[in-house]
């Protein structure tokens, strides 16, 4: 008899799905697909107005994880305070690297993107694509910070901006 796989996430848990950011598990459901019973996490992403169903046995392989702990959040803040590392490679290559970091779901990697693309008021304007990537990374960072600290996303954005301009 096959041992039932233990459930790592519970209904109501906030989780981070690498390609979509922070979502909340709303239910566990069972569906029959091609004659096989599949147990699925149903994850709601309010920001994107999207629902995702992830098989329990595939959740770990997709990179789905619990929210970051306080130490990881602190490491992300330390990263934000660091000096921007701007590579002199072509923008298209850097953009791919930034997108990969954002989609990794790793909070510190996302913080690196925010740090590297952040512009103070006295710095030159960003291109449209730089701004898009920056805002995507900042939003992803703010959503996880808000969920971790149980605050509104706007308050999380304010907190991040304070760190960035300090």
The CATH number for 57's domain is: 2.40.10.170
| 9 belongs to a structural domain | no
* Chain segment 102-138, per-residue pLDDT in tens: 999 899 999 999 999 998 777 778 889 999 999 999 9
The Cα–Cα gap between 165 and 82 comes to 11
- Sequence-distant (6+) residues with CB within 8 A of 59 are 8, 9, 41
Same domain, residue pair 119 and 45: no
pLDDT at 100: 95
> Model-level pTM?
0.86
Which structural domain, as residue segments, surrounds residue 134?
70-165
Same domain, residue pair 79 and 62: no
pLDDT at 5: 52
Mean pLDDT, consecutive 10-residue segments, the chain of 166 residues? 62 92 94 90 90 91 91 94 86 94 94 92 83 95 94 94 87
Q: How many domains does the chain have?
A: 2
């Amino acid at each position: 008899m096959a041992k039932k796989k233990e459930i790592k996430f519970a209904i109501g848990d906030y989780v981070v799905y690498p390609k979509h950011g922070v979502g909340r598990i709303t239910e566990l459901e069972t569906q029959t697909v091609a004659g096989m019973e599949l147990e699925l996490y149903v994850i709601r992403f309010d920001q994107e107005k999207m629902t995702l169903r992830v098989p329990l046995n595939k959740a770990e392989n997709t990179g789905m994880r619990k929210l970051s702990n306080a130490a990881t959040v602190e490491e992300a803040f330390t990263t934000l305070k660091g000096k921007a590392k701007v590579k002199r490679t072509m923008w298209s290559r850097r953009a791919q690297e930034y997108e990969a970091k954002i989609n990794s779901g790793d909070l510190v990697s996302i913080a690196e993107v925010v740090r590297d693309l952040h512009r103070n008021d006295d710095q030159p304007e960003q291109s449209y694509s730089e701004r898009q990537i920056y805002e995507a990374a900042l939003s992803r960072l703010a959503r996880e910070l808000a969920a971790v600290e149980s605050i509104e996303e706007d308050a999380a954005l304010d907190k991040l901006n304070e760190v960035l301009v300090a």
